Structure formats: C-alpha cells, structure tokens
C-alpha cells in the first residue's frame, strides 16, 4: 500500500486543477483547428481558382484567335495595297489590268468577311476578359475571407499556447514540490483513467460521481490516514478529510 501524508495527498487536488486547465486548453485548441468554417472556405477557394484557370485558358484562346484573324486581315490588306499600286501605275496589258481589278474586288470582299470575323473575335475576347476579371475578383474576395478566418484562428491559438505554456510552467513548479513516488502514482492514474485524484465527499467519489457502497466506504474510511486509497469506480486517488465525511 502506497503511503503519503494526508496534507500531501490533499495538495494533489491543486495539481489536478492545473491538469484540468491544461486539458481544457487542449480541447479549445483542437476545436479551433477543426473550425467548421475552414473546410467550406478551402473548398470554395479551390473551386473558384479552378474555374479561374478555365477562364484564363478561354482568354488565351480568344487572344490567339484574334491575333490570327488580325494577321489574316493584314495579309489581305497588303495584297490589296500591292494590287492597287500596280493598277494605279497603268503599266501592263489591258487584260492584266482587268484581272487586277477583279482580284482587288475579290480581295476587298474577302477583307470585309475577315473583318467581320475579327470584330466577332474582339467581342468574344472582351466578354471572356470580363468573365475572367469577375472571377479574379471573386477569388480575391473568397481568399480574403479565408485569410481573415485563418488569421483569427492563429491569433486565438497563439493566445492559447501562451496560456498553456504558463499553466504548464506553473504545473511543473508545483510538481517539483511533491515526493516523486506520490506524483508518479498520480500521473499513472491520470494517464490510465483520465482522473488522477478526487475528493471523497459525504460518501460520494467526485471522481465517478457515484455513492460508494457501504463496504467500500467503510474500508476506505477505516484505512490509515496516510494510505493512498483509490475510487473503486473511477480508479482515481481518493482524498479524505474529516470535515468531508
């Protein structure tokens, strides 16, 4: 039977308070890390960025198509200018000049068709760029909301870490004042059962919240005051005091 002075056993309640505070801080930290807003916000930003990639590709495709169309129009315009120069020079056979005139008319018609296509492609690019800009704004807005939430959580976690470090330091200082054997019993009990020590208060174990049976209660009450006794239900060290009987 392990033994410790009643006053030493009583002081275990102080260290239990600190351990309870540490557990509570850990629970708060875990809840912050599992903030229910984060999964939806992360998923939303991921989808929005994915949609933006599609729109970026559409703008690139529309830009390439417009550039090609502009090149086509420029090429036809260059041929028209070249034929115009020949026609205006007045040199050459009459049939060649007639052929040039006909070619210019065909090229002019072709340029008109190509310019219509160019105009349509310009409108397509303008619309694609507008959609891209709107999506960029949406991504920025959603990312900003996510960043704010993450910053809030990090701030709270930082405060909890500071409080936990201070509490752990206080706990270490208090633990250093105990006999190692008694503290080892307490630590093992806490690790095994989740409750290291509890009061025996008017026949009820505060470790389990249960009223002890008459036989268990009699055995514990009759044990020497320096015996370390345990709750038969919770496994916690039971601290006894005459005024709690």
> Which sign does the torsion angle of CA 189, 192, 194, 199 carry?
negative
Considering the domain architecture, whether residues 12 and 57 belong to the same structural domain is answered as no
The predicted structure's pLDDT at residue 183: 96
What total number of domains does the chain contain? 2
Considering the domain architecture, whether residues 161 and 185 belong to the same structural domain is answered as no
Q: Which of 136, 169, 202 is the last residue of a domain?
A: 169
Considering the domain architecture, whether residues 47 and 152 belong to the same structural domain is answered as yes
Length of the chain equals 245
Q: Domain containing 208: what range?
A: 6-22+179-244
pLDDT band, very low/low/confident/very high, at 88 (cuts 50, 70, 90)? confident
Q: Which of 139, 169, 199 is the last residue of a domain?
A: 169
pLDDT band, very low/low/confident/very high, at 89 (cuts 50, 70, 90)? low
The predicted structure's pLDDT at residue 244: 82
Considering the domain architecture, whether residues 44 and 157 belong to the same structural domain is answered as yes
What pTM value is reported for the model?
Answer: 0.75
Considering the domain architecture, whether residues 54 and 138 belong to the same structural domain is answered as yes
Q: Quick check: 11 pLDDT over 70?
A: yes
Q: Quick check: 71 pLDDT over 80?
A: yes
In a domain, 119, yes or no: yes
The predicted structure's pLDDT at residue 94: 65
Considering the domain architecture, whether residues 46 and 102 belong to the same structural domain is answered as yes
Q: What are the pLDDT digits (tens) for 32-64?
A: 999 999 999 999 999 999 999 999 999 999 999
- Per the CB < 8 A criterion, the answer to whether 219 and 45 are in contact is no
In a domain, 30, yes or no: no
In a domain, 174, yes or no: no
Strands lying side by side in the sheet with 204-205: 210-211, 204-205, 197-201, 237-239, 229-230
The predicted structure's pLDDT at residue 235: 93
Q: What are the pLDDT digits (tens) for 204-232?
A: 999 999 999 999 999 998 899 999 999 99
Instruction: Determine which of 90-99, 123-132, 175-184 has the lowest per-residue pLDDT on average.
Output: 90-99
Considering the domain architecture, whether residues 152 and 186 belong to the same structural domain is answered as no
């Amino acid at each position: 039977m392990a033994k410790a002075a009643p006053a030493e056993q009583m002081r275990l309640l102080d260290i239990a308070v600190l351990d309870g505070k540490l557990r509570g801080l850990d629970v708060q930290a875990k809840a912050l890390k599992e903030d229910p807003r984060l999964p939806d916000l992360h998923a939303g930003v991921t989808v929005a960025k994915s949609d933006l990639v599609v729109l970026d590709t559409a703008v690139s495709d529309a830009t390439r198509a417009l550039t090609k169309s502009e090149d086509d129009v420029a090429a036809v315009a260059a041929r028209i200018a070249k034929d115009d120069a020949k026609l205006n020079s007045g040199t050459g056979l009459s049939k060649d000049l007639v052929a040039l005139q006909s070619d210019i008319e065909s090229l002019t018609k072709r340029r008109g068709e190509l310019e219509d296509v160019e105009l349509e492609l310009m409108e397509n690019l303008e619309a694609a760029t507008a959609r891209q800009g709107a999506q960029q704004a949406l991504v920025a807005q959603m990312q900003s909301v996510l960043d704010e939430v993450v910053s809030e959580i990090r701030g709270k976690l930082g405060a909890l870490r500071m409080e936990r470090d201070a509490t752990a330091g206080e706990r270490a200082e208090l633990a250093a004042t105990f006999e190692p054997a008694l503290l080892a019993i307490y630590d093992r009990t806490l690790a095994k059962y989740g409750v290291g020590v509890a009061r025996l208060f008017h026949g009820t174990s505060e470790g389990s919240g249960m009223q002890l049976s008459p036989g268990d209660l009699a055995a514990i009450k009759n044990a020497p005051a320096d015996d370390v006794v345990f709750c038969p239900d919770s496994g916690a060290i039971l601290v006894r005091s005459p005024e709690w009987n």
